[in-house]
Structure 1
């Protein structure tokens, strides 16, 4: 009967046994080895199969490069809003579709160059000794590989496989995709280097870029991709504004081909510089265009006035006429020039007002100083308006959402209103100046009328010529200044560090890192598995587990047997396993002596459940007693599951059951074995009432009779954790051995054993630790303990006993499945 104490499984506070855990880890060393082999194999495959990814970068600076075009004290501010606004705009432009379209088109990066490797297609742009120059107006085979092989330094071969009667083609002039009929599905043709290839689906020239010696005979795959998809890929350019220096921009790219990335980064910055300088020169271009238009008009007027002056000179004495009207001529000319300047300014202001009120694109405004206007407010606001108008036009390709347009439109409207007010104020002042000049000219003209008619005529003709000539020369000077300034303009964007392949920049796969990760993952996975097994495992692992649960002494430690049968001691008497049983025999004799037992000695072996090695230990303990020439008998009392007969090659037809039911005499059930001094009484046929037979008087009589004839009686009993038979037989034993098997016996069973011992159900009990294999210490289990834990280890036992050689994997499987 189970007592309520049997369920007290936790007599002691359990804690994590780190030592046992380490031993467990070492015992699974094969798992760790296999895991490391797998993870290192995976890391190796990743390293060799995955293309290397590189990172290339460049750094540019954005700064103010003001152009002192119009006056020495008034500069046009081209990037109104400050450097930060310009940096943001440049950052957006670099990632815009329109900008990247220009760069991709210039570099023809929609063309791929590959070489086939064992694991992937390698991008060899810039590494092969040739490049393809296409005719953008004609068809190119679309998104299909074209095999190109250099046959010699001057001849190459094209091989194309077309799966159908038509081929998809693309024309990069307008990026249109269509199809063309083909009459050959397999095209293999040779061409000379530099020769124009003209096929229905291919139109290019192959030109060499360097000596082709190393690539002769090698096959290169060429593919023409979608222009828009290629641009979309390059729009992912990394653009980072330096947080500490707001005018510094870092550009970066990641990819498998460093040459391609270097070319693209440098080309995109160069294109940005050219476009920014072009926009910056817009002021000078507008001014030059305005001056050229004015000069064309002035040329006609100057030519006409010159002809009139020549005609007058032919019929009159110019020297005499000039002397009489010299004073009036100089005064009139000076005032005419002043009047022209004022009228030019008023004309510009009227034109500016009309332009502002009727136009939405202000990028073509000429500079105010062309008309001689040097008013700082007007000059600066015109520059601001032109800059804002240019920025807005660029937003069409880069900005998404009305919020961006609303901001810049509000700024344009604000500048335009201020500019109109400035123009009106200046116009009022100029109109006053014009009236003053007109008054002076009228006074001078009144004086001139007093001169002779010939002098008056000469003054009018020369006055007109001088004015036209002065205006023409002034505009010529302005145009020359504008051209000089345009040529001297610098972009606000400058290279700090152009992109360059310096041999570094590897981002992945990091081969060393992958192997380190493989090492740690290879250790971590089995470690987790072992930890899980250890955590959920509730079986006895070592002596410390036993000592932590029970105070029952351990009488011996038995290792793993490496023999086919259970007769390990008899078959290999010098093995370490045999020594462990001899150590148990010595300990038993000490216990018998301590109990002062006289005559025959009885020994009962039991365990918690079946499979813990009771029969194995019973046979070998009996054998060591028999080998010491002590008459020994093994009494098979596991009436429900008899086993003990098999190893001795005897029959189980008759046995203890036959005697207990009175069917046979004791002499008839005792069977001799091939081991001297060792007899066996098997259990016999399985009875319907084994417990009742054991409780009967016949059992007591049988023990008493056997004590008269034998020195040692070994009782092989059923598991005490499953049936109560062993408890009933405990009264006949002098010493009880409780078999505990490593990695098999549950810890709770020892708690039950404690309870039975406390209730007195089992007396004089000791524990035998069976199946012990100390892999952590000996690596392969060559060492087996004996006695109270003092054992012969591998290497120290040389000369004392034969070392058991453990079976390999196939021997273990053979023994497991084919043993009889």
Structure 2
């Protein structure tokens, strides 16, 4: 047997077999928590409304028709990633959603009433409701409807009162705010319970925007994935298609807005010019008829051509100045893109066009940032600074163009004056004809010019395509995304098992008791002398049966013999050994262990004397049915001699001394000088002297004996002794420099729940094996080896 000094280098390793045994010891906890979790999952799946998702794919393209330079549509270059991020806010705008509702049948909702929840029947209609009259305020709660032989019955609540109306199909019905009639469809069932509800448009507007999302289908691609979730898969598909349809219509409208503005502007100019051209033409005709003039002279014709050309140029310069001043006004704000309504020759140079393109890109970048950051954020302020720089550069460019056009107009005016000086030499009537002809030619040219521009704008508008092309429209997806039964069941099983495992480890965490040797070895360096097995049968309160003798073939008796064998190797140099047996508190079985160990030693022809040294509440005299009151207390108090207190146990080689009468000063008696005399005297007669002392955790009576004993045995009982008990033997051994202190684990039985999941190994190849430390059955060798049911053998779990 290893001594305490030789087995201090221990190593504990996780034993996964023990870990599994801990879990299987409470398999019914795991089963209960798993079943409970599955029940909760079933209720959750039954009561939770399904949520469906549908998806459509659209492709953003910036194709532009081959138009003349006269019309420039709202087009600017930017990455598709930014475009998709920006357009996501357009999709969610109130304007889009409000218009999209008009493409949905939103006025009446139809439901099928179930025992747990109502089911939205959209787009199916078991019956048709035709509204005859509807006020702005109307009844907006579900109305129950059930069929019968003569028609149907509707029920609803108004001011906490139940109202019931029997009606026939096709007959007008009135409820607060609505007059309507109902026609039955072939799918209408009189046995079913239906419901319907009149909706406000605002309800569907909110429902349309709920669960909407847009993202790139692939990184840096021009294809967007547009999704919509809703409890009704058919409504989700219809709503998503309606939103995309309205978006494309608005996109087309926005892209043709520039051409529309051109056409509207030209129409106003043409309305004014048509009257002017007509008036000037009539004046010219009347003048020629009144004065018999057919045409101007050749010199006057030449001058008229020059003057007409210069006047037309002046009108063009005026239009260019108007365009540039409009651009200056648009550049004053940071929240709008710029569209070039006209691009007349010389009005916008390539540099200004490039600046406007950059301006539009930064505006889009700014809008994207504002969807995430605040106006005062650093990123937005950086974009604002870039816009300021572009605004300054564009203003300088436009101011230079304005000055250039003004100078060209002034030069043209001077040339016009020079050309007009030659008219003074013409006759009066010819000069008058010249003026009328000049006005007519100028107005006609401007009219023709504007008509040409209008035609170009109309062609451009007709050729514009929406930038979003539907690749794959939304279709109803009848597989719910939430809750997903497979995921819910899987999670329920995981949570159930985890909860059961959690309960097991909480129970272990709250357990204050010791159940196996590995727990003791993890707490103290004091070696374990052996483990005495739990006796499966009932033991009487007086321990009248010495079980190691009464049941010699039991597993219990074998475990006592293993302790006896180990004990023979301790203090082997001594011919007579003094053994002190104690524990922390009462009830841990120190008397039981002492009696059975003493009787087992007596069986191998060793002279043994058992001394009941617990002077406060010893019961050993009851075990051996001794009536005499003379005992250790009588001897220590000089009331009796040694020969008077030694009693025969009835077993060969085993004598005993009972505790005697309870003295008023038991602790002081244990310090009596007669105690060492007693031990000296007994060593002459016996091989083993066993003292069964008082619990050392409660009283100090055992300390004198512990200090003078050859071997100190500290009893720890499975399921009774607390963890604190494991520290006591080592503390006493260190305090009194004791070298032969050992622990006996009493009442040991396999306890799967509270057992340690560590196995202990020693560096000197000492494995701490004991006869009672195994998980195997006796295979018939032991009389107390119980046969186990097959299911316990499968689980390797013992009750």
Equivalent of 1:90, from 75, 84, 87? 87
Shift of 1:219: 3.9
Q: Secondary structure at the match of 1:774?
A: coil
Distance verdict in 2 for CA 1:463–1:33, change over 3 Å: same
Structure 2 portions without partners, runs of 5+: 757-767, 790-799
Contact 1:338/1:437 (<8 A) preserved:
no
Is 1:518 matched up with 2:514?
no
Q: Residue in 2 aligned with 1:739?
A: 715
Distance 1:328 1:234 in 2: 74
Contact 2:72/2:339 (<8 A) preserved:
no
CA RMSD of aligned residues (A): 6.6
Distance 1:367 1:729 in 2: 114
Equivalent of 1:768, from 724, 741, 744? 744
Moved more, 232-241 or 480-489: 232-241
Equivalent of 1:615, from 561, 572, 591? 591
Equivalent of 2:40, from 23, 45, 49? 45
Contact 2:515/2:754 (<8 A) preserved:
no
1:227-277 per-residue CA deviation (whole Å, 9 max, x = no partner) reads 499649938854557995386655555665554444444433433332232
Q: Residue in 2 aligned with 1:490?
A: 465
Is 1:76 matched up with 2:80?
no
Distance verdict in 2 for CA 1:702–1:12, change over 3 Å: closer
Is 1:797 matched up with 2:779?
yes
Shift of 1:554: 2.0
Q: Residue in 1 aligned with 2:765?
A: none
1:676-725 per-residue CA deviation (whole Å, 9 max, x = no partner) reads 999987545422123555647599789989999x9998653323565565
Distance 1:417 1:214 in 2: 77
Q: Secondary structure at the match of 1:160?
A: strand
Moved more, 287-296 or 339-348: 339-348
Q: Residue in 2 aligned with 1:348?
A: 319
Equivalent residues in 2 for 1:262-277, closer than 5 Å? 262-277=237-252
Distance 2:11 2:137 in 1: 72
Shift of 1:770: 1.1
Distance 1:100 1:658 in 2: 101
Is 1:368 matched up with 2:350?
no
Question: TM-score by structure 1 length?
Answer: 0.66
Equivalent of 2:29, from 29, 34, 45? 34
Contact 1:150/1:218 (<8 A) preserved:
yes
Q: Residue in 2 aligned with 1:425?
A: 404
Q: Residue in 1 aligned with 2:13?
A: 18
Structure 1 portions without partners, runs of 5+: 1-8, 165-184, 781-785, 808-820
Equivalent residues in 2 for 1:156-167, closer than 5 Å? 158-163=154-159
Is 1:280 matched up with 2:255?
yes
Shift of 1:639: 1.7
Equivalent of 1:656, from 631, 635, 659? 631
Contact 2:578/2:688 (<8 A) preserved:
yes
Is 1:576 matched up with 2:555?
yes
Q: Residue in 1 aligned with 2:761?
A: none
1:406-425 per-residue CA deviation (whole Å, 9 max, x = no partner) reads 88899779757755653553
Contact 2:555/2:772 (<8 A) preserved:
no
Shift of 1:633: 8.3
Contact 1:76/1:383 (<8 A) preserved:
no
Equivalent residues in 2 for 1:248-263, closer than 5 Å? 251-252=226-227, 256-263=231-238
Equivalent of 2:666, from 690, 694, 713? 690
1:133-179 per-residue CA deviation (whole Å, 9 max, x = no partner) reads 9899833557x641444649998765322335xxxxxxxxxxxxxxx
Shift of 1:563: 1.5
1:433-481 per-residue CA deviation (whole Å, 9 max, x = no partner) reads 5776787799799889999x9xx99x99999988877766665554444
Shift of 1:772: 1.7
Equivalent residues in 2 for 1:340-739, closer than 5 Å? 341-342=312-313, 344-346=315-317, 348-349=319-320, 367-368=341-342, 375-377=347-349, 418-419=397-398, 422-423=401-402, 425-426=404-405, 428-429=407-408, 476-495=451-470, 498-501=473-476, 506=481, 510-511=487-488, 514-515=491-492, 517-518=494-495, 521-522=498-499, 525=502, 529=506, 541-542=516-517, 545=520, 554=529, 557-559=532-534, 561-565=536-540, 566=543, 567=545, 569=547, 574-584=553-563, 605-621=581-597, 636-644=612-620, 654=629, 656=631, 660=635, 683-691=659-667, 695=672, 715-720=691-696, 723=699, 725-726=701-702, 738-739=714-715
Is 1:748 matched up with 2:727?
yes
Number of corresponding residues: 745
Distance 2:688 2:598 in 1: 8
Distance verdict in 2 for CA 1:10–1:304, change over 3 Å: farther
Q: Residue in 1 aligned with 2:795?
A: none
Question: TM-score by structure 2 length?
Answer: 0.67
Contact 2:314/2:412 (<8 A) preserved:
no
Distance verdict in 2 for CA 1:465–1:555, change over 3 Å: closer
Contact 1:276/1:491 (<8 A) preserved:
yes
Contact 1:43/1:514 (<8 A) preserved:
no
Distance verdict in 2 for CA 1:328–1:204, change over 3 Å: farther
Distance 2:209 2:202 in 1: 11
Distance 1:315 1:154 in 2: 92
Distance verdict in 2 for CA 1:463–1:594, change over 3 Å: closer
1:40-88 per-residue CA deviation (whole Å, 9 max, x = no partner) reads 73476255255555665555554434455443xx661514575688666
Contact 1:36/1:522 (<8 A) preserved:
no
Distance verdict in 2 for CA 1:375–1:20, change over 3 Å: closer
Distance verdict in 2 for CA 1:724–1:797, change over 3 Å: farther
Q: Residue in 1 aligned with 2:792?
A: none
Contact 1:60/1:493 (<8 A) preserved:
yes
Q: Relative contact order: is structure 1 or structure 2 higher (C-alpha 8 Å, sep ≥ 6)?
A: 2
Distance verdict in 2 for CA 1:523–1:443, change over 3 Å: farther
Contact 1:146/1:159 (<8 A) preserved:
no
Distance verdict in 2 for CA 1:496–1:191, change over 3 Å: farther
Distance verdict in 2 for CA 1:682–1:501, change over 3 Å: farther
Shift of 1:377: 3.6
Q: Residue in 2 aligned with 1:138?
A: 135
Distance verdict in 2 for CA 1:134–1:575, change over 3 Å: farther
Contact 1:637/1:716 (<8 A) preserved:
yes
Q: Secondary structure at the match of 2:614?
A: coil
Distance 1:313 1:552 in 2: 140
1:308-358 per-residue CA deviation (whole Å, 9 max, x = no partner) reads 8999999999xxx98x98989997997787467446425535765887899
Contact 2:53/2:229 (<8 A) preserved:
yes
